[in-house]
């Protein structure tokens, strides 16, 4: 099993609105700087993003009523990285939980860097959609 780190943030916006925003690939440049630095375009039925890693493909699971916003990222090398993310209703707001997994070729430093980037992205998401507490990691 790959070691996992969970990063979470609370968002003061309804879960349905946060889910709709997160699962719209065109919104990625607004909150996920590690994945999309300028734009995401639909090319031949695939969502393609320019990222700090180069051009990547982003593929979300089908929309659902469970708040599951998992997405696969196909790196320029062809490696596919699975990114589990959940939007969990919490009274009038929600918790957003992202699982970062340490891939076999990653150093501890690489994992710590990725966790930090995810934390920043989630904090950006929370600020955009209504404020939040600090993003934490377990």
Structural domain boundaries in the chain: 4-137
What 3-state class would DSSP assign to 17?
A: helix
What pLDDT is attached to residue 131?
A: 63
Q: Which two tokens stand for residue 100?
A: 């970062």
Q: pTM to 2 decimals?
A: 0.89
What pLDDT is attached to residue 136?
A: 53
CATH architecture of 4-137: 2-Layer Sandwich (3.30)
Mean pLDDT of successive 10-residue stretches along the chain, which has 138 residues: 92 97 95 86 93 90 96 94 96 96 88 92 94 53
């Amino acid at each position: 099993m790959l070691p996992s780190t969970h990063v979470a943030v609370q968002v003061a916006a309804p879960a349905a609105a946060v889910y709709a925003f997160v699962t719209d690939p065109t919104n990625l440049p607004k909150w996920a700087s590690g994945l999309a630095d300028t734009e995401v375009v639909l090319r031949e039925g695939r969502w393609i993003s320019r990222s700090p890693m180069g051009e990547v493909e982003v593929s979300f699971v089908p929309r659902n009523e469970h708040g599951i916003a998992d997405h696969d990222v196909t790196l320029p090398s062809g490696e596919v990285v699975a990114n589990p993310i959940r939007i969990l209703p919490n009274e009038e707001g929600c918790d957003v939980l992202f699982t970062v997994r340490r891939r076999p070729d990653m150093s501890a430093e690489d994992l710590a860097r990725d966790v930090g980037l995810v934390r920043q992205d989630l904090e950006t998401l929370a600020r955009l959609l209504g404020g939040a507490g600090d993003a934490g990691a377990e």
